[in-house]
Amino acid sequence: MPDVPIIGHDAVLAAVTPADAIERTRAAFLHHRRGAWVMPSKIYLESPPFGDFRAMPALGDGLAMLKWISSFPGNPARGLPTVMGVIALSDAETSELLALIDARSVTALRTGAVAAVAAQALARPQATSAGLIGCGLHGAWAARCLVAAGYASGVCHDPRTPLADALAAELGAGWRAGSRAEALACDVVTCVTPGSAPVVTDDDLRPGAHLNMLGADGPGKAEATVDAVARCALFCDEWAQASHGGELTGAVQAGRVTRADVTDLGAVLAGEEPGRPGEKATTLFDSTGLAIQDLAIAAAVLAALREGRIDVPAAQL
Ligand SMILES: NC(=O)c1ccc[n+]([C@@H]2O[C@H](COP(=O)([O-])OP(=O)(O)OC[C@H]3O[C@@H](n4cnc5c(N)ncnc54)[C@H](O)[C@@H]3O)[C@@H](O)[C@H]2O)c1
C-alpha cells in the first residue's frame, strides 16, 4: 500500500482559505441537492458520562470520506479540546486511502463557511453588519468567514470578554466587542454558544434580520426560545438532523413547526425554492453540520496537497 499523507490542524488551516471554504461549501450543497453527492445519516456512539463519538460518511467528486469526531464537553478541564478526530479520505473508484486529515480544523472551516453561505443566500441584499454571539472556536471561524464574505463591520459578544476583544481586534477596524443587544442589532446575527440556555428570545427578533443558529447541533441543545423560532421564516441544512438534534427540534416537538414550514438551504441555492420571503421577514437558518461540508473542505485539502502547497509526513499503514 502506498504511503498515506497525514495532514495536521495547522497545515489544513494554512492550505484552505475562508473564501475557498465558502465557495466549496456552497458547491457541496448544490451537488447534494442534485444527487451527485450522497451522505448517509450521521451515527452517534455514546461514551457516557464523557461525551459521544460521531461517524459521518459522504461520497462525491470521486472521493469517499469518513469523519470520526468526538464531542467531550469535560475535555477542556483536562486540558484537551472538546472536539477531536480524524478524516479518512479515499479514492471512490479504487478505495485507495488518499489522506488522513485532522478533523478539528476541517470542522471549524466548514462550520464557519456555512454561516457565510447562508447569510449570502438569506440575508437582505443590503445587509452589511454581523453580530456574533459566542466567540469560541467555531464562533471565531464563523466570523472569519463572514469577513471573507464581505461583512466588514460587526459586534462580537461573549461572557468571556477577553475572547470577544481579541476576536474583534483580529477581524478588523469595523469590528468591536459589545453586548448581546448590540450583537443582536446587526443585520446578520450568528449564534455559536454551547446551546445550554437561550440567547435569542421572541423580544429580540427584528424585521429584516437574518439569524444563523450554529450552536445547537445535537439533542437537548437550543440557542433560541421556541416562541422565537416559531416566528421566523425557517431554513435548515438538513431536515432530518435539524428536526431531531438542532435548533428547530424544540419547536417541532412542541408542534409549533412542521416540515412544511422549513426550507432546505440547498433548495434555495439551487433556485428550487424561494429564500427570504420579503424585506421585513426575520430569517433563521439552523445549521447542524453535514458530512458533505466536511467532504468539501477535505477535497480542498487534497487539491492543495496535489498542487504541492502542503508539505506533510506520510506513513505506511
Ligand atoms: N452546527 C455545526 O455544524 C457545529 C459545528 C461545530 C460545533 N458546533 C456547536 O457549536 C457550539 C460551540 O462550539 P465551540 O467549539 O465554538 O465551543 P467553545 O466552547 O469554543 O465556544 C463557545 C463560546 O460560547 C460562549 N458562551 C457561552 N454562553 C454564552 C452566552 N450566553 N452568550 C454568548 N456567548 C456564550 C462561551 O463563553 C464560549 O466562548 C457547541 O454547541 C458545538 O457543539 C456546531
Q: In the chain, which segments carry CATH 3.30.1780.10? A: 4-106+292-315
Across 41-49, average pLDDT: 93
Across 119-137, average pLDDT: 97
Q: How far away, in angstroms, is 223 Cα from ligand 1 center?
A: 10
Q: Is the pLDDT of residue 260 over 90?
A: yes
Q: Which atom of ligand 1 is nearest to the CA of 289?
A: 3
Q: In the chain, which segments carry CATH 3.40.50.720? A: 114-289
CATH number of 114-289: 3.40.50.720
Mean pLDDT of the chain: 96
Please answer whether residues 90 and 298 qualify as being in contact, where contact means their C-beta atoms are separated by less than 8 angstroms. Answer: no
Q: Is the pLDDT of residue 175 over 90?
A: yes
Pocket of ligand 1 contains residue 214 by CB under 6 Å: yes
Across 116-131, average pLDDT: 98
% of the chain surpassing 90 pLDDT: 92
CB atoms within 10 A of CB 154: 28
Across 60-64, average pLDDT: 98
Closest C-alpha to 210, from 183, 189, 236: 189
- The kind and range of the H/E element at 286 are strand 283-286
Q: Is the pLDDT of residue 143 over 90?
A: yes
Peptide bond connecting 194 to the previous residue in cis, omega within 30 degrees of 0: no
CB atoms within 10 A of CB 210: 28
Closest C-alpha to 38, from 5, 70, 18, 60: 60
Q: Which atom of ligand 1 is nearest to the CA of 290?
A: 3
- Report d(CA 115, CA 214) in Å as an integer: 8
Q: What is the pLDDT of residue 218?
A: 82
DSSP letter assigned to residue 317: -
Q: Distance from CA of residue 197 to its chain's centroid?
A: 19
Q: Is the pLDDT of residue 316 over 80?
A: no
Pocket of ligand 1 contains residue 207 by CB under 6 Å: no
Q: How far away, in angstroms, is 168 Cα from ligand 1 center?
A: 17
Q: Render pLDDT for 9-29 as a digit per residue (tens, 0 to 9).
A: 999 999 999 999 999 999 999
Q: Is the pLDDT of residue 264 over 90?
A: yes
Closest C-alpha to 241, from 42, 20, 96: 42
Pocket of ligand 1 contains residue 286 by CB under 6 Å: no
CA distances (Å), origin 204, targets 181, 185, 211, 248:
8, 9, 11, 17
Across 84-95, average pLDDT: 97
Q: What is the pLDDT of residue 315?
A: 77
User: Domain 4-106+292-315, CATH 3.20.20.140 — does that match?
Assistant: no
- Torsional class of 302: left (φ above 0), alpha (ψ -120 to 50), beta (otherwise): alpha
Residue 315 bridge partners (DSSP): 4
Pocket of ligand 1 contains residue 163 by CB under 6 Å: yes
Across 145-158, average pLDDT: 98
Indicate if 221 belongs to the active site: no
Q: How far away, in angstroms, is 137 Cα from ligand 1 center?
A: 7
Q: What is the pLDDT of residue 73?
A: 85
SS3 218: coil
Residue 54 bridge partners (DSSP): 44, 69
Q: Which of 42, 67, 221, 280 is catalytic?
A: 67
Angle formed by the axes of helices 137-148 and 18-33, nearest 10°: 90
Pocket of ligand 1 contains residue 38 by CB under 6 Å: no
**231, burial (CB in 10 Å: exposed 0-12, middle 13-18, buried 19+):** middle
SS3 62: coil
Q: How far away, in angstroms, is 292 Cα from ligand 1 center?
A: 21
Cell numbers linked to 53 = 463519538
User: What phi, psi does 231 have (nearest 5°)?
Assistant: -90, -10
Across 71-89, average pLDDT: 93
- For a substitution probing ligand 1, which of 138, 217, 241, 284 has the most ligand atoms within 8 Å of its CB? 138
Residue recorded with cell 424585521: 207
Pocket of ligand 1 contains residue 51 by CB under 6 Å: no
Pocket of ligand 1 contains residue 85 by CB under 6 Å: no
- Report d(CA 294, CA 129) in Å as an integer: 27
Q: Is the pLDDT of residue 279 over 90?
A: yes
Q: What is the pLDDT of residue 254?
A: 97
Q: Which atom of ligand 1 is nearest to the CA of 214?
A: 1
Q: Is the pLDDT of residue 220 over 90?
A: no
Q: Is the pLDDT of residue 314 over 90?
A: no
Q: Is the pLDDT of residue 217 over 90?
A: no
- Report d(CA 109, CA 16) in Å as an integer: 8
Q: Is the pLDDT of residue 317 over 80?
A: no
Confidence band of 2 (pLDDT split at 50, 70, 90) = confident
Q: How far away, in angstroms, is 279 Cα from ligand 1 center?
A: 29
Nearest CA to ligand 1 atom 41: 194
